[in-house]
Amino acid sequence: MNRRNLVAGNWKMHGTTAELAEVTAISIAAETAGADVALCLPATLIERAVRAAPGFAVGGQDVHQAEKGAHTGCISAAMLLDAGARLTIVGHSERREGQGESDADVRAKAETALAAGLDVILCIGESDSVREAGRAVSTVSAQLDASLPGSIPAAERFSVAYEPIWAIGTGKVPSVDEIAEMHAALRDRLRSAFGEAGNGVRILYGGSVKASNAAEIFAVADVDGALVGGASLKAADFLPIVEAASARAE
């Protein structure tokens, strides 16, 4: 199964008008890249980014599971689409921890977003104490099972991002063997859930990906790209990662 790598940036709570030039620079390079490229931006920047970089894949960082209603401060799938977004992250560990989102919430968000027409990147990952206790694979596999949407419309519209919490923004990364072991286990879970389509779902790695470690991570079996936080904010940091992902033999 040929999977084209996907490199998605997650700008988190960074980015105002002044940073639109970075979006434009990234979008221009994305046109000729050998990998899919997307930026998940703060909601306030989505529409302006889409205008500044027509045709480029801009996404949100979260979506509410309800179509609409009394949910102060939240954003619906229809609103993201209306602003020009094509995709959204769901279940990032910063939302699971900071906003108390459960696996059931994440599953509902993924189902709502896919049904509305947004592509989805669903995040999972273990804490350092779970990793140290030797329970990383079983814990993350169970988290995936409980967070997965019931069905996916097309494999290329749904991706999973394995992001060890202890690796996010810390400069620490798992060994390539640890990444390989986890991604193989997640591939098995995706095949059990979706059959053959599970082979087409991209499994991204996330957590302190940067230009200097990207090629090594992308060489791991069943790593189909990356979700990148800090190193996605500047084109100069992000584009070498896109380049490393483009080098994958298709």
Which residues of this chain interact with ligand PGA, rule CB under 6 A? 10, 163, 168-169, 206-209, 227-231
Which C-beta is closer to ligand PGA: that of 7 or that of 136?
Answer: 7
DSSP 161: E
Provide, rounded to whole angstroms, the least separation between the CB of residue 109 and ligand PGA: 16
Provide, rounded to whole angstroms, the least separation between the CB of residue 72 and ligand PGA: 25
Q: Which of 22, 101, 163, 183 is the catalytic position?
A: 163
Tokens 């459960």, residue? 102
Which C-beta is closer to ligand PGA: that of 91 or that of 229?
Answer: 229
Write the CB contacts of 144 (distance below 8 Å, at least 6 apart in sequence). Answer: 124, 160, 186, 189, 190
What is the C-alpha radius of gyration for the chain, rounded to an integer number of angstroms? Answer: 17
Spatial distance between the Cα atoms of 244 and 117, rounded to a whole number of angstroms:
29
Say whether 14 is catalytic: no
Which C-beta is closer to ligand PGA: that of 91 or that of 200?
Answer: 91
Write the CB contacts of 55 (distance below 8 Å, at least 6 apart in sequence). Answer: 27, 31
Q: Which of 92, 94, 126, 183 is the catalytic position?
A: 92
Provide, rounded to whole angstroms, the least separation between the CB of residue 93 and ligand PGA: 7
Say whether 163 is catalytic: yes
Both tokens assigned to 148: 């997965």
Q: Give the residue numbers annotated as catalytic, written as ranges.
A: 92, 163
